[in-house]
Structure 1
């Protein structure tokens, strides 16, 4: 058994000397990262060592087999990286732009323009109910109309506002 282990270790050493360079170049081209390529090359030779008893190196070309093992490892590595969300460190987060007030201003202008398209009664009920935060009863008292009228005007005013905003999005 010890003889087989030393023979296998010597065989892997010879394989490493002959094929590690081209494998490394292949892995660097695939990953763009020398450290990751070195890790993959090491794993290829670990797997080769484990598989020596199952692979006939006398009849099978060695380099294509090693390249296939490397390609499979690289594919697995790529899949593992793309299946997990990327993590950001504090330096990257600090470079991200802050929320832009321009979007908020544009949205306010869109709503103001859509409000101008509503009737005066609908615009008035929305101002009292939503912008001033008044209840139905308070709005009814302020406008001098029954609470049922406030409810129906609010419903139809919101519907008209939504339609005006949707029409504003159309090209």
Structure 2
């Protein structure tokens, strides 16, 4: 049996117990112990009782590894689990058709000037000034039409949900 194997057999259980206490997680503790053994392998010349306590050296290395892991986790953003869905999936074209039918039916509730104003502001993505220029009305008129149209649409939405369910 090599000198390194003797060290592992002598101090392995105590090192794992110490790392478990530091991390609070058995699996992370095993990773810490493994990294400790890698570093011990690289520095076998230091692992003699005449140069100091071998167990003390191993415990200090394990402690430093845990501290390094803690600091690196705090320096990175927290990892989050993504929901189980396919982000590459293309939406069903039928959904777009249904949505468009619902939007058209809801917009039919509005008068022609109000509908044209909503279409310019929300669907053509124009500012009030831009919509006023296209519709050839004052900016204040665009703002008041949008306000009244949104109020009318809010009242009509329960009816639109009933149309979609049918």
* Alignment TM-score, normalising by the size of structure 1: 0.46
* Alignment TM-score, normalising by the size of structure 2: 0.48
